[in-house]
Amino acid sequence: MNKQVKAFFYSVVVALGGFVFGLDAAVISGTVKFITAEFGLNDLQVGTAVSAPGFGVLIALLITPWLCNRFGRKKTLILISALYWVSAVTSALAPTYWSLVAARFLGGLAFTSLTVAAMYIGEVAPPRWRGKLVSINQMNIVFGLSAAYFVNYFLIQAMNNDAGWAVAVNLKENIWRFMLGSEIIPAFIWLGLLFLIPESPRWLVYRGRIEEAKAIMHRITPDDEIDGQVKAMEESLHHGTEELSGLSQFRELFHKRMRLVVVVAVVIAVAQQLSGINAILFYAPTVFEQLGGGTDAAFAQSLWVGLVSVIFTLGAILLVDRLGRRPLILIGLMWVVVSHSLCWWGFNTARYTLSEEAVVELPAEVDAAALKPMLGQEFKSDIAFKSALIDALGETEARVHSAEILKQSADMNATLILIGILSFISAFHFSLGPVMWVLFSELFPTSLRGVAIPFFVLISSVISFLVQKFFPWQLANMGGEAIFMFYGIVALVGFVWLLPILPETKNLSIEEIQLKLERK
């Protein structure tokens, strides 16, 4: 292989962790109804099960900087891939609710794969390729998301159609276990492939192992550029302080010369997650059930989330080094605002009425007599309608049958809301999704990267955890209208903040980017 192909190969191998992450993140969306019924969960318990990895990653991000700086990027990635595999096995076999939460938490310890992958790829990729190669990580995330939605849909169809193999393995009773177990093989493959990549040359320079760094750079860097790049790395390290303690690195990170970098990183980290992406990705069938199409339609519509994610992430990869980081971020934020506005309007104009004819169409296990007090009443919000359902059927029964009851009672512009949701998914994966990782791989000097990237990803992850944890409760108590309005306002505030300060970093080395930012 020539040098560019090797750099590409190493980046792709590392980015396969994005596929495992995407699969892990989205496959849980299909299990919500089934684990709720099996373990008798309320809204906050559902949120805990779904968000357990989000809490796990908060813990992992506190030790990731030390692992990366002490043992290197490669060994840290190998440990992470092993955690993914163990989590997948134990999640699929979990006998109780809390054992499922614990297994999911273990998988969350591996979610730092995104951080370390962006760091590694940013350090081995040539400057002119960095944007595309870092974005491959995001591409693999959406491939994983898509695979999860297809796996869930395939299993639902097999269960509903009583396929021979589905009956043989008792799929109806264990479908959520098969969904979670779909991660086992990809995680094992990634673990094996990671033994084929070299250590990051920047980390070797950071540790003073110059000759080892040069030997690896001979595989991926033109020979006439190696000495110059090593010298630039050493100067960058000298500009900071080699072997800084964690506390010293944080002090350096918040030095006034880093102020612009910190503001940009914080705003992007907050806007990326608080615009609502994980509410959709982690609860896709649940969200689509609110449109009144029923459970099967909700799983089918979830496939569109995966397909749209792939298409627009590919577009971002092709354009991130051509158009630049700044235009994609700013265009994407305004696109998110418009998308959420469509969803807000769709829910704002929705009405819910349960008729006698509709009750007849409900599944036999629904207590039709208990619904009589609701007949003929018009409810002007999903919150009021669900509250009446809970009063009529009880919390557990209302949750189990809400999709089919909404299907018979909702009068809304479901197409408009579906377009708004898919538009939001498109905007996110065209801008905030991949470009945040590109910027995080570029903004920070070598001496601070091991602390800086995990720290700002920690901010993003805290918000992600909170979104995942409380979304079921928000949906039940705030309703779709208020939720989408809030997400749109967040994106608008992010746009206003970044418009005057967001720098352009395309085609610059990490050292050149740092000099540019310090001059501002």
What does the DSSP assignment read for 3-58? Answer: HHHHHHHHHHHHHHHHHHHHHHHHHGGGGHHHHHHHHT--HHHHHHHHHHHHHHHH
**Is 99 part of a structural domain of the chain?**
yes
Grade residue 242 by pLDDT with cuts at 50, 70 and 90.
Answer: very low
Gap between the Cα atoms of 472 and 43, Å rounded: 5
**Is 272 part of a structural domain of the chain?**
yes
The DSSP code sequence of 234-268 is HHHHHHS-TT--HHHHHHHHTSGGGHHHHHHHHHH
Grade residue 238 by pLDDT with cuts at 50, 70 and 90.
Answer: low
**Is 30 part of a structural domain of the chain?**
yes
pLDDT over 70 for what percent of the chain?
Answer: 90
**Is 352 part of a structural domain of the chain?**
no
pLDDT over 90 for what percent of the chain?
Answer: 22
Q: Is 111 in the same domain as 171?
A: yes
Report which of residues 289 and 128 the model is more confident about. Answer: 289
Where is the domain boundary, 411, 427, 445?
Answer: 411
351-380: average pLDDT: 80
Residue 294 pLDDT > 60, yes or no?
yes
Domain count for the chain, please give it: 2
* Cα distances (angstroms) measured from residue 53 to each of 49, 66, 280, 432, 504: 8, 20, 16, 21, 33
Gap between the Cα atoms of 273 and 139, Å rounded: 18
Q: Is 454 in the same domain as 331?
A: yes
**Residue 247: partners with Cβ closer than 8 Å, 6 or more residues away:** none
What per-residue confidence (pLDDT) applies to 241?
47
Q: How many residues does the structure list for the chain?
A: 520
Where is the domain boundary, 395, 411, 427?
Answer: 411
Q: Is 123 in the same domain as 175?
A: yes
242-250: average pLDDT: 59
Name the 3-class secondary structure at 378.
strand
The residue among 183, 188, 187, 196 whose CA lies nearest residue 74 is 196
> Is the CB of residue 37 less than 8 Å from the CB of residue 400?
yes
304-329: average pLDDT: 85
**Is 493 part of a structural domain of the chain?**
yes
β-sheet bridge partners, residue 411: 351
Please state which of the ranges 40-44, 105-109, 242-246, 262-266 shows the lowest mean pLDDT: 242-246
Q: Is 397 in the same domain as 320?
A: no
Gap between the Cα atoms of 88 and 106, Å rounded: 9
pLDDT tens digits, 138-167: 778 889 988 999 999 999 988 888 788 888
Range of the domain at 397: 357-411
Exposure on the CB side of residue 251, measured as CA atoms within 13 A: 7
Q: Is 384 in the same domain as 465?
A: no
Q: Is 172 in the same domain as 281?
A: yes
Q: Is 153 in the same domain as 130?
A: yes
Alpha helices in 283-431 (DSSP H): 284-289, 295-319, 325-348, 356-360, 382-393, 395-409, 414-430
> Is the CB of residue 369 less than 8 Å from the CB of residue 510?
no
Which CATH number does the domain housing residue 197 bear?
1.20.1250.20
Q: Is 336 in the same domain as 442?
A: yes
Report which of residues 194 and 353 the model is more confident about. Answer: 194
Where is the domain boundary, 365, 387, 411?
Answer: 411
pLDDT tens digits, 401-434: 777 788 778 888 888 999 999 999 999 988 888 7
What per-residue confidence (pLDDT) applies to 390?
84
What does the DSSP 8-state code read for residue 354?
B
Q: Is 231 in the same domain as 320?
A: yes
Grade residue 494 by pLDDT with cuts at 50, 70 and 90.
Answer: very high
**Is 326 part of a structural domain of the chain?**
yes
Angle between helices 97-108 and 43-71 (to 10 degrees): 30
Residue 520 pLDDT > 60, yes or no?
no
Q: Is 366 in the same domain as 444?
A: no
